[in-house]
Amino acid sequence: MKVAVLGAGAIGAYVGAALHRAGADVHLIARGPHLAAMRQHGVQVLSPRGDFSARAHATDDPAEVGPVDFVFLGLKATSYAACGPLIEPLLHSSTAVIAAQNGIPWWYFHRHGGSWDGTRIESVDPGGTVSAVLAPERAIGCVVYAATELMEPGVVKHLEGTRFSIGEPDRSLSPRCDRFSAAMRDGGLKCPVETDVRGDIWVKLLGNISFNPISALSRATMRQMCLHGGTRRVIETMMNETLAVAEALGCRPGISVERRLAGAERVGDHRTSTLQDLERGKPLELDVLLAAVVELAEITGVPVPTLHTVHAISDLLADRMRSAA
């Protein structure tokens, strides 16, 4: 099995190292000092489950890799529309694309069924620019329940979680999902194949849609947000509004707001990925987390006043960052 990891940052390099350990033909596509370190020393993974290293092929030129069976997409969703030149050399007629993104994916309504089947979500696929590069029929849904960070070039610290839930947009149990899941399991990761991965998307989104923008606005950690009474109530309201949108679309995530908040509090003083991006001056990945759900609320007629308010303020922050950049 030949796999390219396009955007081999903390999560991408971690998955690539695990697949390489399982015997897959893995190619890590990255740039800068991180690429140089992986070329020289491979990927070093530091984990409470046991440290390991993997010397997979690393490059900044996808043409050097050629067509693969699977592309594991580790890029931020904000980069999808522009990744055409990078991904095109990796594709053959049946190449599958597994996007490890947070939030609502560009393929969400592909083979969804019902009255919204085929609907394009402007927030995540503006003008169809993402679908033009990443054909929805190639997509395998993926929800990441693992936390990693890049300690230094070539060194990934695995903090917690090993689960990568995957599934087909049409809810089928496909051979390509089974094949990828088996390789991930052989590499020491959990990779259940879900008949309805959209449920996992909403479970993960309950936290991302609330904690991520609030953390950027407040500069607070997960624990600090949970322990501040007023902020906790805002987050709880955001989660309940999000559940109402999910249910209007026919999806009922199997988790309560109370359980989601308790799990977030247990994470402790962790800085969300959005807060880390803010501190590093990187674009904020809020369109797929927050703007998309506000758009879906408008489509379904669900009132989401708190989501609208937080979206307006965090969008101003993102605009200011873009102007500064």
Q: List active site positions.
A: 204
Distance between CA atoms of residues 25 and 43, nearest Å? 15
Q: Give the span between the Cα atoms of 225 and 233, in whole angstroms.
A: 10
Helix (H, G, I), strand (E, B) or coil at 36: helix
**Residues 88, 93, 95, CA angle at the centre, nearest 5°?**
70
Residue 141: closest CA among 77, 98, 178: 98
Question: At a CB cut-off of 8 Å and minimum separation 6, what does 252 contact?
Answer: 199, 246
Q: Which residues, at least 6 apart from 182, have a Cβ–Cβ distance to it below 8 Å?
A: none
Q: Name the DSSP letter for residue 48.
A: T
| Residues, the chain | 325
Assign 3-class secondary structure to 149-214: EEEECCEEEEEEEEEEEEECCCCCCCHHHHHHHHHHHHCCCECCECCCHHHHHHHHHHHHHHHHHH
